[in-house]
Amino acid sequence: MSAPTNAALAHTRRVCTLYKKSLRNLESWFDRRHIFRYQATLMRARFDQHRNEKDPAKVAQLVADGERELFEKQHYQPKKFPMSPGGVAFEREVIPPDWVLDYWHPLEKAQFPDYFARREKRKEEYVVWWEKQYGKSSANDSSSHH
């Protein structure tokens, strides 16, 4: 059994992307679940109708026509998931990076002695692991980055 070609994978991905975008577009147009499911079933039947098409030219034309139709029928205000880019809650809660804790005042660190002791130990273990994995950094390497 031979591995699938890049062209076949690209085509498959293009069809799957078209299908998913079409579903999301239907979701934006039909807010009642039963109406959406009915429309989704009709759309899936349209995809399945050409599932076994062998002619590459016709297949490419079908996909292009589908993408054009999707563009023409796209919703004017598509639904977005709240935490996704463009959603109402996207990046609402900023999670600070770990290095911020290095700049805490010693009195702040003193309130959590166990945590910061364990953190320092883990940082040392990470340095040992890094040097074992990639070798020690020389003085030239650290000065060339500044």
Give the model confidence (pLDDT) of 66-85 as tens digits. Answer: 999 999 999 999 999 999 99
Query: Under a CB-based contact definition with an 8 Å cutoff, are residues 63 and 18 in contact?
Result: yes
CB under 8 Å to 50, separation ≥6 — which residues?
59, 62
Radius of gyration of the chain (CA): 27
pLDDT over threshold 60, residue 141:
no
Distance CA 62, CA 51 (A): 11
Residue 48 tokens, joined: 């399945």
Q: Which of 2-6, 102-106, 120-124 has the lowest mean pLDDT?
A: 2-6
pLDDT of residue 144: 52
Residue 75 tokens, joined: 């919703």
* Helix/strand/coil for 135: coil
Distance CA 63, CA 4 (A): 19
pTM more than 0.85 = no
Give mean pLDDT, residues 41-47. 95
Where are the chain's structural domains?
4-71, 96-132
pLDDT over threshold 80, residue 131:
yes
pLDDT of residue 9: 73
How far, in Å, are 2, 70, 73, 81 from residue 60 at the CA level?
A: 23, 15, 20, 31
